[in-house]
Amino acid sequence: MVTVRSYLEQRDFLLSKVEAPRPFGIGILEVGGLTICESLDSDIDLPVFTAANIDGWAVRSSNLVGASYIRPAILPLLGDVPANAWGAEPLTPGATKRIAAGGPVPDGADAVVPLEYGVIVDEGVKFTAEIPFQANLRARGSRIADGDPLLPAGSVLNPRSIAMLAEVGQDKVLAMARPRVAVGTLGSELIEPGRPLLRRTQHYDSTTAMLAAAVKVAGAHPYAIGILPTDPAGLQRVLFEQLSTTDLIIIAAPPSELLEDVLGRLGEVDTTPVAVKPTGPQLFATIGETNTPVLVVPDTAASAYISFYAFALPLINKLAGTDPSTVQAEAAPAAAPIMADPTHTQFVLAIHTSRGVTPLELPEGAGGVELANANALIVVPPGIGISPGQGAICWLFDQ
């Protein structure tokens, strides 16, 4: 009896065969899109000192309590604090200092009186009004304080969060490295784009370029190994060369005893059928002493992209330390019916707009031309049909 896995069973099986690598310290200029593996707290205050917001007089507010035109307060003037000063001598109780906007407020002062509200007299500076506590100050740590949490472990670093880390002086973080993914296509009649077609049976390899781009959009490092050799020795050599430099290998290929045999020589192969339409992964293997995972997807660009989104993307996410099941999904009314399949999960390329989602009718061997029109994937569980106007679950591409 042949065992058949459902879509979710196959995804979980693949994920069980992949281990995320150990995190390590990565420089702040290289961490965009990576996942941090530690919770980060600030170890400085921002601002790093209390500064004056305006040109004025640094005072202790309690020294001006009751000040008025009838009873002015006169405080001795003990000097100036320029804007570019690194620090200032503490303020003697009952005195004042002239301070420029941006200058550090001396210890002992808790407010800044606007410059025009103080008048220099022989005895010092005359003030004719009270000043509220902490008036006209930008307090130390008012933006962020030493010990404040910045990011929890598991956060994906984007340009905004990286700006925050750099501003508090972080030069590196403990993060998961970008997964390294090798992609290639197997086929005797394939030609690399840019070279002339020499026979009617030949066609350009669009799948390698598509897979490399998909890997990059997923946040991983793609390594395009191109069109693979069709002789056993050559194919085995190329695959063996990838073992020390990649975390995952994706091969687009038709059903092939050659590929199954070569992968079997290098490691363990799983050939369990998967109940998905169009055809799911052809093979899965772990090869070499590193147990590098190899995912074999259909050779046509459209079907290969569906398999990438359904099966390869969760693997890449796990290798990157993010949630493998994370995908941008929403329900949208279908513009055309989709017939139920009693046993298979159906993945249907579609065009998603604000008005709904339209399934695409694809010809046999649909490739890059048809794939370019799609921006979503309708996911239809087994035994479920979708009528026009009925809500369909869509995975949105490149969101």
- Provide DSSP, 53-81: SSSEEEE-GGGGTT--SSS-EEE-EEEEE
Same domain, yes or no, for 188 and 65?
Answer: no
Q: Is 197 helix (H, G, I), strand (E, B) or coil?
A: coil
Same domain, 30 and 151: yes
Could you check whether the bond before residue 293 is cis, i.e. omega within 30 degrees of 0?
no
Statement: residue 397 has pLDDT above 60: yes
Is residue 249 one of the residues assigned to a domain? yes
Confidence of residue 203 (pLDDT cuts 50, 70, 90): confident
Q: H-helix or E-strand containing 186? A: strand 180-186
Domain match, 283 and 392 both: no
Report the CATH number that the domain containing residue 14 is assigned in CATH: 3.40.980.10
Single out the residue in 117, 138, 159 at which a domain terminates.
138
Encode pLDDT of 119-162 as tens digits. 999 889 999 999 999 999 999 999 999 999 999 998 989 999 99
d(CA 361, CA 358): 9
Domain count of the fold of the chain? 4
The helix/strand/coil state of 93 is: coil
Same domain, 199 and 132: no
Is 377 inside any structural domain?
yes
Of 262, 287, 320, which residue sits at a domain end? 320
Poorest-confidence range of 103-112, 295-304, 342-351, 357-366?
Answer: 357-366
pLDDT score, position 112:
97
Residue 17 confidence (pLDDT) above 90: yes
Both 261 and 304 in one domain: the answer is yes
Range of the domain at 81: 51-138
User: Are 277 and 361 in the same domain?
Assistant: no
Q: Which residue has the higher pLDDT, 77 or 322?
A: 77
Q: 165-188: per-residue pLDDT in tens? A: 999 999 999 998 899 999 999 988
Residues 183 and 167 in one domain: no
- The per-residue pLDDT of the chain, averaged, comes to 91
Q: With bands split at pLDDT 50, 70 and 90, how would you rate the model's confidence at 2?
A: low
| 333 inside domain | yes
Contact 46, 52 (CB under 8 A): no
Looking up residue 126, the CATH number of its domain turns out to be 2.170.190.11
Give the C-alpha separation, 151 to 132, whole Å. Answer: 36
Angle, helices 257-266 vs 232-242, to 10°: value is 50
User: How far is residue 311's CA from residue 258's CA, in Å, rounded to a whole number?
Assistant: 23
> Poorest-confidence range of 18-27, 80-89, 276-285?
276-285
Same domain, 193 and 234: yes
**Whether 247 contacts 203, CB under 8 Å:** no
- Do 267 and 306 sit in the same domain of this protein? yes
